[in-house]
Structure 1
């Protein structure tokens, strides 16, 4: 339609993407718990941004970005430089609010959730300065 407002379609796509993201985060959290990790936070909001999952195992703290894409290949390339900077800043704020976690260290992981629900984890996916 000529002159039609594209906003409703954009909102609908955004709602679908948000629901898909929530589903992927739930799959990732369940997978982590099955691997012996304690999920400390889901969608942890900070002034710097949101952290999808925060999990700890044996004192090792992981800040986790969850990516849902049709394939692992698509998901693996979905974390850009701006998101890494945002995640680093958010993690710093989260740590300041929750002292005592990460006594054995910390890292940033990416969990990829494919369309079929299968999970792949990229442990220590990036570091400060990457």
Structure 2
């Protein structure tokens, strides 16, 4: 049975998904090079998704990865609504993983663009 080629929109979604995975892999490699262990990827909660969760010693980091055509557009894409969503998802993660509740916590962002290596913004925002 012959299959029709994917529609243009479907191809674009697949390409965006692949770029997102590549960006997350680059961010994970950046954290691993700094001595972190990646505990989880693409954590889905009722309040939203966390791209990466990493730990080094007593520090637990929730990481949002933003891949765009430029670092500026990646940075500008982190809106207050999104920061609130990430903080809420982190709260749910901690409730589901009580062994992590006593750790220091940080919310970081990694910006990924084709014109350079990933940019890590430690403590990019606070939980509200």
User: How does the TM-score come out when normalised to structure 2?
Assistant: 0.87
2:45 paired residue number: 46
Deviation at 1:16, TM superposition (A): 1.1
Q: What is the aligned partner in structure 1 of residue 14 from structure 2?
A: 15
Partner of 1:65: 64
Structure 1: 5+ residue runs without aligned partners?
1-7
Partner of 1:74: 73
Show structure 2 runs of 5+ residues with no match: 1-6
Match of 1:37 in 2: 36
Q: Which residue of 2 aligns with 1:109?
A: 108
Aligned counterparts of 1:11 and 1:85: Cα–Cα separation in 2? 30
State the Cα deviation string for residues 6-64 of structure 1 (Å, max 9, x = none).
xx333322221111000100111011101101110011111212100001112111100
Question: Where do 4+ consecutive residues of structure 1 move more than 6 Å?
Answer: none
Question: Is 1:62–1:106's contact at 8 Å kept on the other side of the alignment?
Answer: yes
Contact conserved, 1:56 with 1:102, CA < 8 A, in 2? no
TM-score normalised to the size of structure 1?
0.86
Partner of 2:122: 123
